[in-house]
Structure 1
Amino acid sequence: MTTTYYAEETRPARRRGRRVLITLLVLLVVLGGVLVAGDRVAANFAEKKIAEQVSQQVAAQKVQSGPPEVSVGGFPFLTQVVAGEYEKITIGLPDVKGDVEGNTVSLPRLDLVAHNVVASIDTLRSGQGDIVAKTVDGSTTIGYDEVAKLINQPDIELSEREGKLWVTAPVQIPLVNQTFTVRGAAELSVEGRQIRIQLKEATADGLPAVPLAQQVVENFIKNTSIAFDLPVLPFKMELKQVSPTADGLAVTATATEVPLNG
């Protein structure tokens, strides 16, 4: 009788324990949803305010672009907003237009990544105060048509081949009164705000076996070094590296201790 009485009494207790556990799980799920929603609201707030400040700063630096697309990285967002410190903020600037010696140069997009950004809640709310990034890394691609326009050589053709910049250009040789097409690889380098293209390995199609003609082509290859400026990038970023891609020259730039607002 003792054994039967004990089993009957524990069954309701077990059912009550399950109900308590289920209730706690439901509360945790609801609380988690509330926290996630609050986190997203905080992120949206920060993204909107930072986008407004960045847009004003870019305009002040005379760089034209579409509305900035801002995304706050890291998790949770809410603690970052409260602390006023953000691990990573990505900023996309579409349809960038800059000036180089009176010529408008178009960049389809400039992508920026700001690291360790300090921006207090009061600054975001009022727009007064500093929003500063420890570092900002930028990347963009300048199309080959834009490069040809910058170097003022519309007849030159640029492309990427096996990871190298490939140059195709006409060369006129007065000795035989003919124009020949020179093709070959070029090296890319960065010097300050300039990108330099140095022709290194090239051959001429159908070049006659005339020593003087061959010398003209060799001199052309040796002396073909073209430098051109990029438009001024926002936040005083300095060029870091350039490499050829199928779509154009991929350019990276960087800056430190960057104010993202005015």
Structure 2
Amino acid sequence: MAQDYVYQERPRRRGRKVLVALVVLLLVLVGLLVVADRVAAGVAERAIADQVRQQVARQDAQSSPPEVEVGGFPFLTQVLDGRYERITIRLREVRGSVQGDAVSLPTLDVDARNVQASLDTLRSGRGDVIAETVAGTGTISYDSLAKLLDRPGLTLGEQGGKLAVTAPVDILGQRLTVTGTADITVREQGQVALRFNDLNAEGLPNVPLARTLLNNYAQGISVDVPLPDLPFQLAVREVRPLPEGLAVTADARNVPINAVG
């Protein structure tokens, strides 16, 4: 009986060893597939980044080299399908090549969804990479905006969800501190209108001339701010003040995010 027990135990141990080996082999194969998937995604990201760089140049915009990330997993199934869930692109120091007075965007984050791109297009660089929807978000720093207004001592910021201004002003021989907020309107051709219609100054002399001078100052800093030409046919839809700066939101539909081959 003891001998039979030994014979029964050995096959069981060998079976467990085979099972453990199969599990380890499966894990190794899965790991290799994940690595291969990420390597392929990296190759595609570099190819798209190069084409985006050419596209930015063709649209008369300038920026640092784009950073591209292809979303969705697994990547290889998206390659076979020719459709990608999401491609995110980050551009830094976006500025127009023609508008010398335009403010620059320190960063422009572009989120492209439902992107169509054949394997041949990614490999050869010929053909279009078309995004069904493209959304762009960027922030204009208050320092760069204040520099454009060119008023000594003027500072801008966010207050209660509005663009707030503080500036020293000489009125009738008195040095006063002017405060107030601006109305922001998005205009055509990539301009943002700032209108400072509600300025006040503590200690303002109660005479019509003092109020006239204050209104003249408000008109002087009420300007149309030219934005840089945005790539990917992005059109500005909204500009709103945030603590870190003016947040710019833009979008477009059915546009190429690469250079046309």
Q: Is the 8 A contact 1:99 1:105 kept in 2?
A: no
Structure 1 residues 96, 120: closer, same or farther in 2, change over 3 A? Answer: same
Residues of 1 paired with 2:52 and 2:44: CA distance? 12
Q: Confirm or deny that 1:181 pairs with 2:177.
A: yes
Q: Which residue matches 1:128?
A: 126
TM-aligned CA deviation for residue 103 of structure 1 = 2.6
Instruction: Name the SS for the 1:148 alignment partner.
Output: helix
Q: Confirm or deny that 1:138 pairs with 2:129.
A: no
Q: Which amino acid aligns with 2:39?
A: V
How many aligned residue pairs are there? 258
- Over residues 28-58 of structure 1, what are the superposed CA-to-partner deviations in whole Å (9 max), with x where a residue is unaligned? 1111111011101110111011011101111
TM-aligned CA deviation for residue 212 of structure 1 = 4.9
Q: Structure 1: which 5+ runs fail to align? A: none
Q: Which residue matches 1:247?
A: 244
Q: Which residue matches 2:186?
A: 190
Residues of 1 paired with 2:55 and 2:97: CA distance? 17
Q: Is the 8 A contact 1:42 1:81 kept in 2?
A: no
Residues of 1 paired with 2:197 and 2:7: CA distance? 92
Mapping 1:52-201, distance limit 5 Å: 52-99=50-97, 101-103=99-101, 105-151=103-149, 153=151, 156-169=154-167, 173=171, 176=172, 178=174, 180-192=176-188, 193-201=190-198
Q: Is the 8 A contact 1:116 1:135 kept in 2?
A: yes
Structure 1 residues 185, 39: closer, same or farther in 2, change over 3 A? Answer: same
Q: Which residue matches 1:207?
A: 204
Which one is further off, 127-136 or 141-150? Answer: 141-150
Q: Is the 8 A contact 2:178 2:202 kept in 1?
A: yes
Q: Confirm or deny that 1:17 pairs with 2:15.
A: yes
- Over residues 83-129 of structure 1, what are the superposed CA-to-partner deviations in whole Å (9 max), with x where a residue is unaligned? 22111111111222224644353322211111111111101111111
Residues of 2 paired with 1:220 and 1:40: CA distance? 57
Residues of 1 paired with 2:62 and 2:69: CA distance? 20
Q: Which residue matches 2:48?
A: 50
TM-aligned CA deviation for residue 250 of structure 1 = 1.3
Which one is further off, 88-97 or 194-203? Answer: 194-203
Structure 1 residues 224, 115: closer, same or farther in 2, change over 3 A? Answer: same
Structure 1 residues 68, 224: closer, same or farther in 2, change over 3 A? Answer: closer
Structure 1 residues 41, 101: closer, same or farther in 2, change over 3 A? Answer: closer
Q: Which amino acid aligns with 2:250?
A: A
Q: Which residue matches 1:39?
A: 37
CA RMSD of aligned residues (A): 2.6
Q: Is the 8 A contact 2:103 2:225 kept in 1?
A: no
Q: Structure 2: which 5+ runs fail to align? A: none
Residues of 2 paired with 1:69 and 1:215: CA distance? 50
Residues of 2 paired with 1:17 and 1:212: CA distance? 99
Q: Is the 8 A contact 2:112 2:131 kept in 1?
A: yes
**Matched-pair identity in %:** 53
Residues of 1 paired with 2:89 and 2:139: CA distance? 16
TM-aligned CA deviation for residue 62 of structure 1 = 1.7
Q: Which residue matches 2:229?
A: 232
Q: Is the 8 A contact 2:134 2:252 kept in 1?
A: yes
Residues of 2 paired with 1:103 and 1:215: CA distance? 29
Q: Is the 8 A contact 2:60 2:98 kept in 1?
A: no
- Over residues 183-235 of structure 1, what are the superposed CA-to-partner deviations in whole Å (9 max), with x where a residue is unaligned? 01223232232212233543212212335534654686699743222111011
Residues of 2 paired with 1:215 and 1:105: CA distance? 30
Q: Which amino acid aligns with 1:52?
A: D
Which one is further off, 226-235 or 132-141? Answer: 226-235
TM-aligned CA deviation for residue 170 of structure 1 = 5.3
TM-aligned CA deviation for residue 138 of structure 1 = 0.8
Q: Which amino acid aligns with 1:256?
A: R
Q: Is the 8 A contact 2:95 2:229 kept in 1?
A: no
